Structure 1
Amino acid sequence: MNGIDVSKHNGAVNWTSAATAIDFAIIRAGYGKTYVDPWFERHLAGAQAAGLRVGVYHYSYALTVEDARVEARHLLDVINGRKFDMPLWFDMEDADGYKKKHGFKFSRANISAITQAFIDTIRAAGYQCGVYASKSWFEDYIQVDADAIWLAQWASKPTYAGRFDVWQNSDSGTVLGVTGKVDTNVLYTEFWKEQEEDEEMKTYKHTTEMPEWARDTFVRLVHAGIVAVDDAGEIAVQECSVQPMVYLDRLCGGQIEKLPEAIKVLQTSE
């Protein structure tokens, strides 16, 4: 699938025309701790009205782990609970030299810690989070637990050895409906299929919100020995199944340390 990513720098886009040439768009929501892209809402509304799959990204000026958390909360405020067709994207590079000018330490440990802090904050709000970076940044600086990878490598074909879900192949593409040059991308993972298949399970944030069959599932999994939980909250799954893991996450509200107690409550309530 082919797509573009845009910000205020691209100005007005004729999304109806663009939709004849592309399948998706990734739109900048903002950057830093407070900035909101003035074209975000217009780009978002136009792309969605044209029937495109849509994602959003945030450009980071974070110099510390706490900065990253603040930036993540800012992005969450901007999107205001809205859902998208792919994970929220985090761009941690230094395209304008801001980090270098402010004495930033360019090391794998530092950049990975800052990136992971952003990811974890986004996840805690119920969203998936992906990371955008160049091939060299992924190879030299970024080693994180992310839900998706957006690789920037402007070339005729990607040579990055790691896995990636989206490939930004050019910063100077031309697309109908867009004035001037635009970043072009190829998407390999249709994230929305997984979201649609799992939509019913993802709505259960607390045990009391689950239907009776879902609550019973936990008890059966534990009693059958398919799922084991030790006192430290570590989970062992004896059979290959995605659903039990999703339910387990919902049972403890995403707080794994509370899982053993949550299961005990279910068992005693039978």
Structure 2
Amino acid sequence: MRALPKVLATGIDISEFNGDVNIAAMKGKVDFIIIRCGYGEDYSYQDDVRYRENVGKCRAAGIPFGVYLYSYARNTTMAKSEARHTLRLLRGLTPLYGVWYDVEDRTLPGNSQLTENCLAFYNELQNAGYYCGLYSSISWMKERLNSPRLAHIDRWVAQWTGELQYPGAGIWQYTDRGLVNGRYYDMNRAFRDYPAIIRGEDWTDMTREQVAELARQEAQKVYDKNESKYKTFKDVPSWAREAAEDVYNRLGLAGAEGGSGNETQLNASATYVRALYVIDKVIELIDSL
């Protein structure tokens, strides 16, 4: 039998279907709880009716929690609405066991569209600053969520057997019959220190694909910030502002939202501003001939 990675924490996952859970009594018996926030698109009637109650109980008991949303998305528009649904319910919270996209419903689309949906949800959550992963059964992970485009996304895998057969999973849901305080729950084992990862304390247990994706995202943020460094003329350094405005006026250029003067939308990089300065000097030279 292949050796499993080290179990760092054991927890349960719950939803409204578990009824009134005595979370305070679980202190010392579970290390974390993953709570369903809702299902489907961003409609309040699709919020899990016990979500806020369960979050409040976890916070009162000092038990770290994660959050998941059950998907019914048939396209990326719906997946983005599901992301908005999740973000609305996360407002002001930091789930130290991540945010998980539950993709298992039989009505979900084929593999290609399912991949697009997962990326749409993941990107929205990541861009909002949350640690996001995918939840599903072992069969879906191997057959429907096996696109290389999803390789960088963490996995919470349901396999109710004695051995996990999905290398690299961050969390394993190993049974739906775990007995805690006389009641049955889905039981989970975490192989990563999610509180440390999410707080930014330790990235050493991330997979190579996750590290690569993180590096790509950070590089993109730096690039985007520099490429749109100067939003309008008033943001341009004083030494180049007059030259940049002159080039725009003389060549009939317009910003992304039109307008003139300081309200013209440049979204310009430092390189672009320097180019405008040089063009202005060239125009002055031509005028003097």
Change (3 A) 1:243 1:7: closer
Determine the structure 2 residue equivalent to 1:93. 104
Deviation (angstroms), 1:245: 7.2
Determine the structure 1 residue equivalent to 2:17. 9
| Correspondence for 1:38 among 25, 36, 49 | 49
Q: What is the TM-score with the length of structure 1 in the denominator?
A: 0.70
Determine the structure 2 residue equivalent to 1:119. 122
Q: Give SS of 1:181's match.
A: strand
Change (3 A) 1:149 1:195: same
* Larger Cα-atom Rg: 2
Change (3 A) 1:120 1:173: same
- Work out whether 1:76 is the aligned partner of 2:79: no
Separation of aligned partners in 2, 1:242 and 1:110: 21
| Correspondence for 2:170 among 165, 180, 185 | 165
Determine the structure 1 residue equivalent to 2:142. 139
Q: Give SS of 2:177's match.
A: strand
Separation of aligned partners in 2, 1:131 and 1:140: 14
Q: Give SS of 2:189's match.
A: strand
Could you tell me whether the CA contact under 8 Å between 1:129 and 1:146 is conserved in 2?
no
> Structure 1 counterpart of 2:142, which letter?
E
Q: Which runs of structure 2 are paired with 1:176-255 in the superposition (5 Å)?
A: 176=181, 180-197=183-200, 248=219, 250-251=221-222, 255=224
Separation of aligned partners in 1, 2:215 and 2:85: 32
Could you tell me whether the CA contact under 8 Å between 2:34 and 2:97 is conserved in 1?
no
- Work out whether 1:154 is the aligned partner of 2:160: yes
Q: Which runs of structure 2 are paired with 1:48-63 in the superposition (5 Å)?
A: 48-63=59-74
- Percent identical pairs in the alignment equals 29
Q: Which runs of 5+ in 1 are unaligned?
A: 200-239
Q: CA RMSD in A?
A: 3.0
Separation of aligned partners in 2, 1:192 and 1:147: 17
Change (3 A) 1:183 1:113: same
Could you tell me whether the CA contact under 8 Å between 1:131 and 1:146 is conserved in 2?
no
Q: What is the TM-score with the length of structure 2 in the denominator?
A: 0.66
In terms of mean alpha carbon deviation, does 243-252 or 83-92 score higher? Answer: 243-252
Separation of aligned partners in 2, 1:74 and 1:181: 28
Deviation (angstroms), 1:140: 0.5
Could you tell me whether the CA contact under 8 Å between 1:248 and 1:259 is conserved in 2?
no
Could you tell me whether the CA contact under 8 Å between 2:176 and 2:184 is conserved in 1?
yes
Count of aligned pairs between the two proteins: 214
Determine the structure 2 residue equivalent to 1:215. none
Separation of aligned partners in 1, 2:178 and 2:187: 6
Q: Give SS of 1:63's match.
A: coil
Could you tell me whether the CA contact under 8 Å between 2:177 and 2:186 is conserved in 1?
yes
In terms of mean alpha carbon deviation, does 143-152 or 131-140 score higher? Answer: 143-152
